[in-house]
């Protein structure tokens, strides 16, 4: 394992943009006209509504661990090291500084020394699995890749949060919709919230080029107005991008490597199918009264959603890239795309963009629905390894890191970084509220990605249109996978 080297945020974001292709992305849940549950921490929500977040007491005991070392293992892919910076504070980086101060406050409060090691997400997962299988006690807390971590949960590698003392998932620093995406049989093995500041920036959004709007006689303030009036729908996105993609350089072909051809939308095949599907209310897995998942496709709903996605990507001739991820963002930066589907994280690469750009939430299926923001599968989740021998200490420090982040890190991340550094105008700052406070997680995406969970991406790649046939094909396999998932969790519970 290697200690991460300090780097300034601008460089990190630039690297993230072209390395993010290694991050797994997936699909969401619900009916097109149904609002998904709000997926955000209270700190962000209260900031969004203009009220100050209260400094809620975490109720932890007054205890001193006499300078014991608390070991944390975390990802260093893209911006994930921001969750638990181990280096000294940096006054040029407000988020890093806030995380550093959060760590020091927890150390001083409980008499511990936080030791952090970083590695790639795959190596982190392998280390946890090895540690549990050999019953070694190397780490007290781990930050894992969301989708890959789900596999470790099935392998009995984590302690259920419900079985941990002092951790209260009803507190505002824990994401309230974790249960929908991760809990099975009322047991949750991975958690998220203010403890992981990087997770906010792995939320999907749409960027749009204001200069191109004006150049084509469109009002660049209109998208903002549509959002605030609840009228930012997929039909409006289709309307904006219709007939926009053009051969400008006159070589009789539309080439994404041309320096002049323009596109209505530039997108990556591992991002936009999920961003749109979940934004439009898609869902494949539901829960019964016992918190047990079951395969629950709605052919009518999903057919309607897919038809809109197909029209946006295929009919309107968007740039839908499956290999050269870097070129997707490059086209937008060069002023050759009207819209760009990405995450808030990718705003870092747009800082030197000459054209003015704005930020929007993903469109809704209809005006009666709510805005929903897909969370990338590479988002960090926290877990406590099953081999951890001092669960009381691990739980206390984990809860303290979360509660302290709620008070000191999230306000800085949300107001200073997401609103002031990522966006260029006040309207885009307002859009951040819509994006961050409506995040969704989906069990189908997290656990059934290689199959029905990725069916939209697979169909778009081959320009297929038979949704009912595709979902029927996956029915038997999906039911078996869910049964296997439930059995694995229940065995973990017994253990």
Q: How far is CA 289 from CA 180, 185, 293, 294, 383, in A?
A: 12, 10, 10, 11, 26
Rg (CA), the chain: 22
Which two structure tokens, joined as six digits, stand for 51?
């009220």
pLDDT, residue 35, reads: 34
Reference 281, options 408, 366, 162; nearest CA is 366
CA 290 to CA 110: how far, in whole Å? 38
User: Who contacts 331 (Cβ-Cβ below 8 Å, separation ≥6)?
Assistant: 256, 263, 266, 319, 337, 340
pLDDT, residue 164, reads: 94
pLDDT, residue 50, reads: 39
Query: How many helical (H) and strand (E) elements, i.e. helices and strands, does the chain have?
Result: 19, 13
pLDDT, residue 199, reads: 84
Give the bridge partners for 385, in sequence order.
158
pLDDT, residue 300, reads: 95
Q: Helix crossing, 455-462 with 299-310: angle to 10°? A: 40
CA 7 to CA 10: how far, in whole Å? 8
pLDDT, residue 453, reads: 84
* pLDDT by 10s per residue, the chain, length 495: 333 323 323 333 333 333 333 333 333 333 333 333 333 344 344 334 333 445 578 999 999 999 999 999 998 776 666 788 766 656 567 888 889 999 999 999 999 999 999 988 889 999 999 999 999 999 999 999 988 898 899 888 999 999 999 999 999 999 888 888 899 998 899 999 899 988 888 899 999 999 999 999 999 999 999 999 999 999 999 999 999 999 999 999 999 999 999 999 999 999 999 999 999 999 888 999 999 999 888 999 999 999 999 999 999 999 999 999 999 999 999 999 999 999 988 877 887 899 999 999 999 999 998 999 998 888 889 999 999 999 999 999 999 999 999 998 888 877 776 666 667 778 888 888 889 878 888 888 888 756 788 899 999 999 999 999 999 998 888 999 899 999 988 886 544
pLDDT, residue 46, reads: 38
Residue 301: what are its φ and ψ, rounded to 5°?
Answer: -60, -50
pTM of the model: 0.82
pLDDT, residue 21, reads: 33
User: In the chain, what are the domains?
Assistant: 61-201+377-422 (3.40.190.10), 204-374+443-469 (3.40.190.10)
pLDDT, residue 8, reads: 26
Contact between 263 and 316 under an 8 Å Cβ cutoff? The reply is: no
CA 219 to CA 226: how far, in whole Å? 12
Which two structure tokens, joined as six digits, stand for 119?
């590695």
Beta carbons within 10 angstroms of residue 127's beta carbon: 19
């Amino acid at each position: 394992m290697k200690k991460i080297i300090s780097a300034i945020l601008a460089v990190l974001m630039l690297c993230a943009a072209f390395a993010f292709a290694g991050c797994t992305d997936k699909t969401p849940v619900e009916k097109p006209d149904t609002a998904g549950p709000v997926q955000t921490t209270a700190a962000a929500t209260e900031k969004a509504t203009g009220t100050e977040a209260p400094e809620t007491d975490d109720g932890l005991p007054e205890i001193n661990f006499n300078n014991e070392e608390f070991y944390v293992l975390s990802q260093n892919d893209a911006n994930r090291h921001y969750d638990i910076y181990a280096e000294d504070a940096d006054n040029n980086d407000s988020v890093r500084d806030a995380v550093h101060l959060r760590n020091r406050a927890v150390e001083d409060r409980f008499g511990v020394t936080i030791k952090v090691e970083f590695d790639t997400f795959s190596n982190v997962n392998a280390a946890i699995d090895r540690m549990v299988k050999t019953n070694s006690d190397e780490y007290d807390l781990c930050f894992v890749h969301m989708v890959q971590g789900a596999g470790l949960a099935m392998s009995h590698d984590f302690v259920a949060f419900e079985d941990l003392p002092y951790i209260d998932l009803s507190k505002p620093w824990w994401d309230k919709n974790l249960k929908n995406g991760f809990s099975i049989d009322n047991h949750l093995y991975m958690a998220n919230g203010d403890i992981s500041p990087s997770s906010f920036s792995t939320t999907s959004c749409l960027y749009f080029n204001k200069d191109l709007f004006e150049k084509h006689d469109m009002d660049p303030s209109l998208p903002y107005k549509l959002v605030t009036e609840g009228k930012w729908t997929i039909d409006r996105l289709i309307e904006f991008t219709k007939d926009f993609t053009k051969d400008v350089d006159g070589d009789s072909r539309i080439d994404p490597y041309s320096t002049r051809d323009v596109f209505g939308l530039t997108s990556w095949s591992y991002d936009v199918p999920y961003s749109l599907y979940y934004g439009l209310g898609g869902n494949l897995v539901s829960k019964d009264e016992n918190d047990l998942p079951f395969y629950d496709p709605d052919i009518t709903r999903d057919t309607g959603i897919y038809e809109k996605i197909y029209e946006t990507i295929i009919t309107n001739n968007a740039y839908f890239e499956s290999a050269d991820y870097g070129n997707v963002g490059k086209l937008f930066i060069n002023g050759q795309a009207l819209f760009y589907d990405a995450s808030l994280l990718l705003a870092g690469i747009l800082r030197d963009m000459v054209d003015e750009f704005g930020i929007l939430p993903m469109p809704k299926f209809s005006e009666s629905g709510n805005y929903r923001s897909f969370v990338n599968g590479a988002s960090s989740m926290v877990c406590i390894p099953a081999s951890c021998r001092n669960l009381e200490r691990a739980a206390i420090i984990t809860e303290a890191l979360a509660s302290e982040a709620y008070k000191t890190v999230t306000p800085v991340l949300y107001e200073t970084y997401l609103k002031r550094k990522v966006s260029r105008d006040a309207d885009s700052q307002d859009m951040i509220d819509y994006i961050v406070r409506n995040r969704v997680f989906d069990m189908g995406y997290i656990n059934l990605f290689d199959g029905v969970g990725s069916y939209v991406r697979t169909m778009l790649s081959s320009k297929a249109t038979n949704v009912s046939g595709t979902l029927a094909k996956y029915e038997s396999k999906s039911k078996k996978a869910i049964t296997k998932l439930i059995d694995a969790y229940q065995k973990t519970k017994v253990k």
